Amino acid sequence: MSEALLTITDLHAWYGESHVLHGVNLNVNRGELVTLVGRNGAGRTSTLRAILGLTGVRKGSVCIAGVETMGLQTFEVARLGVGYCPEERGIFASLSVHENLMLPPPLPGGTPLSVDEVYRLFPNLANRGNTQGTRLSGGEQQMLALARILRSGARLLLLDEISEGLAPAIVDQIAEALMELKRRGYTILLVEQNFEFARSMADRFYVMEHGQIVEHFAVQELDAKADLLHELIGV
């Protein structure tokens, strides 16, 4: 078994008074694509946010590349080589496409994709440099959000619902890009509602319910778990 890049142990998190994560345990190995599935409100987005310290109080342990991150600030966690694509994509309205793309400074020890490589991966973004970021279509904004974190040189990508609300052709393009990133050795933790999209790429699945991991299996066990999955998340 390869080395774990992300190890989460007994992670609890709160938003104000509200206790949203109740002891999450999961790990993602280097070069793996792991998908976190579950119903809305199960705590998947909160798990990604808690890794970066974007929730309120946290307890437990989040180790990235062997470094315990619980005492670190968000930007320090990112500097360990983490890229985060939020569900709302976070394209800055006051910045052009080019400015959005060039925004993240190179992370220490990272291997940023060049702008040319980014355009090869997402051809739709080429020639759109001067357009205001939020004037792109939903799919193009999603590609920009993904491309942007690749420009920082992050190697662990936390992607939240990146296929949500997109046309099937765009979803296919994004899936292709993710497969390419996987081939290049990126480590990806994907939160996904679109199970078909996830099953074509993922190595392993974690199922969340009520702020906890309730099931964990590899892609090979998918058929055997079909009934359970149907019961847990309705697919």
Partner 1 sequence: MDEIFGFPVVVLASQLMLGLVNGAFYAVLSLGLAVVFGLLNIINFSHGAFYMVGAYAAFMGLNYLGVSYWLALVLTPLVVGTLGVAFERTLLRKLYQLDHLYGLLLTFGLTLVVEGAFRTAYGVSGQSYPVPEALGSVLDLGFMMLPTYRAWVVVASVAVCAVTWFVIERTRLGALLRAGTENPKLVETFGVNVPRMVMLTYGFGVALAAFAGVLAAPVLQVNPLMGSNLLIIVFAVVVIGGLGSTLGTVTTALGLGLIEGLTKLIYAEASSTVVFLIMVLVLLVRPAGLFGKES
> Judged by CB, which is closer to partner 1: 91, or 213?
91
Q: Which of 23, 14, 17 is nearest to 208 (CA)?
A: 23
When binding is defined by CB under 8 A, the residue of 21, 26, 136, 149 that contacts partner 1 is 149
**Alpha-carbon span 203 to 95, nearest angstrom:** 36
Report the relative pairing of strands 33-38 and 18-29 from DSSP bridges.
unpaired
Nearest to 102 by CA among 130, 124, 79, 82: 130
Site for partner 1 in 50-69 (CB under 8 A): 52, 54
- Minimum distance from CB of 16 to partner 1 (Å)? 11
Single out the segment in contact with partner 1 by CB under 8 A; choices: 38-46, 62-70, 103-111, 218-226: 103-111
DSSP codes of every residue in 9-66: EEEEEEETTEEEEEEEEEEEETT-EEEEEE-TTSSHHHHHHHHTT-SSSEEEEEEETT
| 92 contacts partner 1 (rule: CB under 8 A) | yes
Q: In this complex, which beta carbon is closest to partner 1, that of residue 146 or of residue 229?
A: 146
If one asks whether residue 75 binds partner 1 (CB under 8 A), the answer comes out as: yes
Least distance from partner 1 to the Cβ atom of residue 97, Å:
12
Q: Which residue ranges make up the site for partner 1 (CB under 8 A)?
A: 52, 54, 73-75, 78-79, 82-84, 86, 90, 92-95, 99, 102-105, 107, 148-149, 152
